[in-house]
Amino acid sequence: MITHFTHERLFSNSQLPGWKISFYYKQKLYTGMYHASGEIEWLTEPPHPEKKANIESYIHELMLYHVYE
């Protein structure tokens, strides 16, 4: 379960897409950049490959809810 999900714009110009994201998963902090294409560029060690696809899917849903509402 992802907890403490946060996102903030990378650029002060709101017309340019891109967000810095952070969250905890199993008590470990993860940070990354979420690009407009949906690609996540991990700034910390990425989640374990077996869990990565599920986590990224959940992040996409959160971004759709919080940013693209």
> Which pLDDT band, with edges at 50, 70 and 90, does 55 fall under?
very high
Of the two residues 45 and 13, the one the predictor is more confident about is: 45
Q: What is the mean pLDDT of residues 19-48?
A: 94
**Strands across the sheet containing 28-34:** 2-9, 19-25, 28-34, 40-42
pLDDT at 36 exceeding the cut of 70 = yes
Q: What is the pLDDT of residue 15?
A: 67
* Domains of the chain, residue spans: 2-66
In contact, 31 and 22? CB cutoff 8 Å = yes
Q: What is the pLDDT of residue 69?
A: 61
Q: What is the pLDDT of residue 17?
A: 79
> Which pLDDT band, with edges at 50, 70 and 90, does 28 fall under?
very high
Q: Would you give the distance in Å from CA 33 to the centre of its chain? A: 6
CA dihedral 1, 39, 43, 9 (to 10 degrees): -90
